[in-house]
Amino acid sequence: MVDDPAAKYFGAPMTDESLVPTGNHTVRIGPLSFADWLAGDEGRRHLA
């Protein structure tokens, strides 16, 4: 693997904060499983 600081992700330039939550964006870990999410409103909206 070769590090390329100028590499793009699907054509978009990336920074250290592009794909991870930082600053005021705190990570929330909860007990929601995929099956529970799919059975709820959000899951039904994505299947429609």
Output DSSP code: residue 43.
Answer: H
Distance CA 7, CA 4 (A): 5
Distance of CA 25 to the CA centre of its chain: 12
Domain ranges of the chain: 8-47
pLDDT computed for residue 20 by the predictor: 73
Beta bridge partners of 13: 8
Contact by Cβ (8 Å): 27, 19: no
Full pLDDT tens readout for the chain, 48 residues: 888 888 888 888 888 777 776 677 666 777 888 888 888 876 667 666
End-to-end CA distance of the chain: 40
Residue 26 has a pLDDT of 67
pTM of the model: 0.32
- Confidence at residue 1, expressed as pLDDT on a 0 to 100 scale: 83
